[in-house]
Amino acid sequence: MALAGLAGLARAGRPARSGPARTGREPRRRRSGPGRWAGAALAGALIAGGLLTGAPQASAAGLGQVTGFGTNPGNLAMYSYVPTALPAGKPLVVALHGCTQTATDYYNNSGWAQLADRWGFAVVFPQTGSANNVLSCFSWFDSSKDTRGKGEALSVKQMVDKAVALYGSDPSRVYVTGLSAGAGMAADLLADYPDVFAGGSIASGLPAQCATTQSAASGCQNSNQNLTPAQWGDKVRASYPGYTGPWPRVAIWHGSSDSTVAPVNATELRDQWTNVWGIGQNASATQALPGNTTLSVYNDGAGRPAVQLYSISGMGHGLPVSPGSGTTNCGQSGAYFLNTICSSYYTGLFWGLDGATATASPSPSASPSSSPSSSPSPSPSPSASSSPSSSPSPSAPLGCWTDNNYNQVAAGRAHQSGGYAYANGSNQNMGLWNLFVTHTLKETSAGYFVVADSGCGA
């Protein structure tokens, strides 16, 4: 129910935001009063409370509402930020807020406005409201609103067209990003309009078209859907039948301690978009980044990053930000804007917003964190990324492997049930079946594995 935002109680028939119409880049004013936060009070008693924001609000003087952007079948409001004297031909980023948040919240806290000033691009901040959904969630779970040519998805596409016309943005460099429910919609938009969006970033979100009804939404949020990469990829391909590419380059951000959107969603997103790109699910390289973040890169056939997975150890549900004045800092911390790493900065590098064409893969010296202690040898299984650290001997374990739970299952050393991984033979519970939880498994006899996180002695 959290990201679905009680869609069954959604109301229609009035604009996404009340008040006089505004055009251009006129600063918007926030409403005040107890009625503004009635939805937040309701959500506090629900799982959806994990999506609320209480972050301090900065000045929104640079954020203006744009009207007349199309038929707007999704009943959304369009806000934009454009740096002073921005020349034509620059990129455009579309940034989608989470449940109960507003365009202003995302403008103030996400860091995208700061980076727009630094690198030179325009940002569109779509906004939904309680007229569409009682908790102001984007409808990532409703096929009448999140599919190509319909509802909110079409409204966002119309915003892109309007921004390209107003600001002269480069239509070949349009990107979409979002948090939570906004991330779910961002994933849907990438599938709906791969001919519009060159890249996407999904923070604490879900795979494209994971749910097509409200009743299915909670299952997507909370548990593994047990689909193969090909089945996930088919959901993208079915969103725009007949389209064969090029496909968007996708960044995935997720905390290992997210209890609102289970971290397995990041694994499923990785499976989905690597399959769409026609590449495997083994990382080309990994790299340690600030904020307890591990970056796993999946290269296309030309050796360029196509999918990047950022796993933040210990982070809960929210958008990773890193306030400060350094090059890699951006954003403001607050509720569900979590002080770990500036995700917007690293996403911008991935997309080439800093002027580069695309972020290069980490060098081979940045070896995968799941590598065993000895040099790996080729594996007959494309999904098994590690090899034994010692040769079998009568006095030693048959093998010892350190890897994340997803790869342990893929390599046949463990199995999964109900979203959890279990060591084969001993059936020890290894925790969530995902890319974030790592264990060492020791094979004590053929096909019998035990958790050996303290070491693999004889």
Tokens, residue 244: 């064969």
- What string of H, E and C letters represents the secondary structure of 271-322? HHHHHHHCCCCCCCEEEEECCCEEEEEEECCCCCEEEEEEEECCCCCCEEEE
Tokens, residue 149: 């040519």
- Spatial neighbors of 69 by CB under 8 A, at least 6 apart, are 78, 158, 159, 161, 162
Q: Exactly one of 136, 155, 169, 180 is catalytic; name it.
A: 180
Render the burial of 341-380: b for 16+ CB within 10 Å, e for the rest.
bbbbbbbbbbbbbeeeeebebbeeeeebbbbbeeeeeeee
Beta strands 319-321 and 337-339, pairing class: parallel
Query: Is residue 442 a contact partner of residue 400, using CB atoms and an 8 Å limit?
Result: yes
Tokens, residue 418: 């109900």
Tokens, residue 331: 């954003």
Distance CA 456, CA 170 (A): 55
**Is 180 an active-site residue?**
yes
Query: Is residue 358 a contact partner of residue 351, using CB atoms and an 8 Å limit?
Result: yes
Distance CA 9, CA 53 (A): 21
Query: Is residue 158 a contact partner of residue 77, using CB atoms and an 8 Å limit?
Result: no
Other beta carbons within 10 Å of 87 = 9
- Read out DSSP for 2-70? TTTTSGGG---SS-SS-SS---TTPBP----SGGGGHHHHHHTTSGGGGG---PPP---TT-EEE---S
Other beta carbons within 10 Å of 131 = 18
Query: Is residue 305 a contact partner of residue 297, using CB atoms and an 8 Å limit?
Result: yes
- Spatial neighbors of 127 by CB under 8 A, at least 6 apart, are 16, 17, 76, 77, 78, 79, 97, 102, 103
Active site residues: 180
